[in-house]
Amino acid sequence: MEYAAAKSTMCRQCGAHFVPSAPKLEVRLRPKEEPVETIADTSVFRRLEGFWAKHHSSVIECFDCKATQEISSAASSTICPKCSKHIDLRDYKITTSFSRSIRTHGQVHVTAKGDLSSSSVTCRSALIEGKMRGNFQCFGTATINFTGKIPGRLTATHVLVERKCVVQFFRRVRVKSIEIRGHVTGEIIAEGAVVIHRNAILDGNVTAKSFSVEKDGIFNGQLIIGSAGLTQAELLPEANPAVAATPDDIESAVVPHPLPAT
């Protein structure tokens, strides 16, 4: 055996000097249909293919200055190039009682035995199968797959309530869209669509841009189709300036109140 880049060497048996050269392979240890070069190339290709399948890049946004950057999925943390703040990219799995604040671009998974009582949780996606008592903000999809009460405030891009789940929200749920496959009780404010699937139930007032109830779905509450930030004053035409009213006129005036939609 000799180094591949060697220009000369000495025979270990007779001491003669000679220029090394790789011997020709006369005996094949593998069948002809599977040459060594092909197997090696295939192995390298598979390794590269597996690497790119596991590790891909994604674009994230800084929590503080909202600057964007591209990072690898294999990274567990990074630094914002604009404000130099630390950005957590890890996934969290809550299996017991947990009370610390979380702010990550990864996933937060609350298992069936988990109890998340953090005052503030911010994540990319979430899977809630246990207790959640703190405020929760999700930039992606928050999947709820448990039966119980949620006293904290939930804000998410998309919320999915799985089948056979009975969930009661004590505070307003602000989402872009929500899909209900189980039983939900609470007030929902959606910038987009609210979908009640078959055999699902929604008890509570809803403000949404669009509303859909499939066959055998049930909805109990008041429904407002439109913008959540629209007030009654914005619906009225601009009034012309008038003469100041007398006290008698004020007492006899009747202030109209908007009636709920039926």
Are 78 and 98 within one domain? Answer: no
3-class secondary structure per residue, 47-106: HHHHHHHHCCEEEEECCCCCCEEEEECCCCEEECCCCCCEEECCCEEECCEECCCEEECC
pLDDT in tens, 214-244: 999 999 999 998 765 544 333 334 445 444 4
Are 119 and 198 within one domain? Answer: yes
Are 70 and 95 within one domain? Answer: no
How far, rounded to the nearest angstrom, does the alpha carbon of residue 231 sit from its chain's CA centroid?
A: 31
Residue 39 lies in a domain: no
Are 217 and 168 within one domain? Answer: yes
Q: Count up the domains in the chain and report the number.
A: 2
Residue 35 lies in a domain: no
Residue 249 lies in a domain: no
Are 145 and 195 within one domain? Answer: yes
Q: Residues 113-134: what's their mean pLDDT? A: 90
For residues 181 and 166, is the Cβ–Cβ distance under 8 A? no
Residue 1 lies in a domain: no
Q: Residues 148-165: what's their mean pLDDT? A: 92
Residue 255 lies in a domain: no
Are 73 and 112 within one domain? Answer: no
**Contact partners, residue 7, CB within 8 Å, separation at least 6:** 19
Query: Structural domain of residue 73, as residue ranges?
Result: 55-89
In this prediction the pTM is: 0.64
C-alpha 243/C-alpha 41 separation (Å) is: 90
Structure tokens at 107: 């996933």
CA dist list (Å): 181 to 15, 126, 253: 84, 17, 48
Are 72 and 134 within one domain? Answer: no
Are 101 and 219 within one domain? Answer: yes
Are 196 and 134 within one domain? Answer: yes
pLDDT over 70, % of the chain: 73
Per-residue confidence band for 247, with pLDDT thresholds at 50, 70 and 90: very low
Amino acid 108: pLDDT: 93
Q: Residues 151-170: what's their mean pLDDT? A: 92
Per-residue confidence band for 93, with pLDDT thresholds at 50, 70 and 90: very high
C-alpha 147/C-alpha 21 separation (Å) is: 74
Are 130 and 203 within one domain? Answer: yes
Amino acid 54: pLDDT: 56
End-to-end CA, the chain: 90
Residue 98 lies in a domain: yes
Which H/E stretch holds residue 46? helix 36-54
- Residue where the block lists tokens 């992606």: 140
Residue 194 lies in a domain: yes
Per-residue confidence band for 42, with pLDDT thresholds at 50, 70 and 90: low
Are 82 and 155 within one domain? Answer: no
Residue 196 lies in a domain: yes
β-partners of residue 177 are: 158
Are 134 and 202 within one domain? Answer: yes
For residues 152 and 135, is the Cβ–Cβ distance under 8 A? yes
H helical segments located in the chain: 36-54, 232-235, 247-252
